[in-house]
A and B are shown apart, each in its own frame.
Chain A
Amino acid sequence: MYYTYAITGLILLISFFINKQKTIKAIKISFIKIKKIVPTFISMLIFVSIILFLFPDEVISNFLNNSSKFLSVLLASLIGSITLMPGFAAFPLSGILLTKGVPYMVLSAFTTTLMMVGIITFPLEKEYFGVKVTLIRNTISFFIALIVAVITGIFFGEVFQ
């Protein structure tokens, strides 16, 4: 996280030395863009806070630890689509679930949908790309995640067990 700030700071400084006016203009553009998107972000945060309350780690674990593998894959991709979790929280959780015996293909479905499909980020995405494109992109991503999960299952010998 800190190196991002260091790099941004450095670039900003270099930019400032090369052209003061342009840099100030850049900062103005950033502020205008942030201002426009803040209301959407706040709505999104409200949804996130409620969804995370409804799907705490224990609930997710229970869903993914289903006896039927294929049902688990489906549930995993649905939960992954609904919730929003930064990678630094998602992978440790998946690592724990792995040691608890949750199949790789289920975790693949979970992490891939988590990263690619965003029902919670829908309001934000539609602000930029429109409702239709947002729907199409998320649907495609959902199916990509399912395909990846099945192939993961094949490689780990979980599908035909």
Chain B
Amino acid sequence: MKRNFKIRIAYISTYLLFLIVSFILGYNPGKEIAFNFISFLVYMLKILPCAFILIGLFEVWVKREVIEKHLGEESGIRGYVWVILLAGTIAGGLLVAFPIAYSLYNKGAKLSIVFTYIGAAAICRVPMTIYEASFMGVKFTMIRLLISLPLVIITSILLGDYLNKRNYKMAEGK
């Protein structure tokens, strides 16, 4: 842990030093990288606080039994429908999907549902899908959704089964 921390400090300071020197010398690639960094930082600062506050509320308010019943081992097909609807309405893509999926898992959602959530959050968020269709056409978007979603569900079930057989557990306390 200590060593990792040192490595991290080392490359972050190298990076910062590079950006500062680039600005002093007027080195354009360095400036562009700094610009990229800031624009992505702003983008993430816009979504993340919201996402994490919702996760916090979720952890406090939603009872474990509720998640176990609807998204747990006994949930059946309905569980997948619920989790896809949930994924479809939450903005932010994968970055936000990981911590949410992790919270779902810790509240008792089964693995195949957790992976379906991640896949669905990537490919079928409602606002993004409408946006996509407006640029690429409805046909393109429909094909993508109708092919990828079943594949996501099937592979999530297979992956869930495989990991259950190996007694997979996610890291604790993230």
Query: Cβ of A128 and Cβ of B101 under 8 Å apart?
Result: yes
Bound form: Cα–Cα A26–B139 in Å: 42
User: Are A127's CB and B174's CB within 8 A?
Assistant: yes
- What is the 8 Å Cβ interface bit string for chain B, positions 30-67, against chain A (1 contact, 0 not)? 00111011001101101111101111110111000000
A160 at the interface (CB under 8 A from B): no
Residue from B8, B123, B135 in contact with A92 in the complex, judged by beta carbons closer than 8 Å = B135
Q: How far is the CA of A133 from the CA of B169 in the complex (A)?
A: 10
Main secondary structure of the interface of A (DSSP, over half): helix
Contact A8 B33, CB 8 Å, known A45-B44, A147-B151 = no
**Contacts A128-B101, A144-B155 given; does A108 touch B50 at CB 8 Å:** no
Q: A37 and B140: CB pair below 8 A?
A: no
Q: Is B85 an interface residue (CB 8 A)?
A: no
Stretch in contact with the other chain, from A46-54, A57-65, A67-75: A46-54
B163:A29 contact, CB within 8 angstroms: no
Contact check, A12 vs B53: say whether CB atoms are below 8 A apart: yes
Taking Cβ atoms with an 8 Å cutoff, the residues of A that contact B are: 1, 4-5, 8, 11-12, 15, 22-23, 25-31, 33-34, 36-37, 39, 41-43, 45-46, 48-50, 52-53, 86-88, 91-92, 94-95, 98, 104, 107-108, 111-112, 115-116, 118, 121, 124-125, 127-130, 133, 136-137, 140-141, 144-145, 147-148, 151-152, 155-156
B interface with A by C-beta (< 8 Å): 8, 11-12, 15, 29, 32-34, 36-37, 40-41, 43-44, 46-50, 52-57, 59-61, 91, 93-95, 98-99, 101-102, 115, 118-119, 122-123, 128, 131-132, 134-136, 139-140, 143-144, 147-148, 151-152, 155, 159, 163, 168, 170-171, 173-174
Can you give 25 contacting A-B residue pairs, CB < 8 Å?
A8-B50, A11-B57, A25-B60, A26-B53, A26-B59, A33-B99, A33-B174, A34-B48, A34-B52, A36-B174, A37-B174, A45-B44, A53-B29, A91-B132, A91-B136, A104-B140, A121-B95, A121-B98, A124-B98, A127-B171, A130-B168, A136-B159, A137-B115, A151-B143, A152-B143
Q: Which 9 A-B pairs have the closest CB atoms?
A: A30-B56, A95-B135, A49-B37, A26-B56, A49-B36, A29-B56, A26-B60, A30-B52, A91-B135
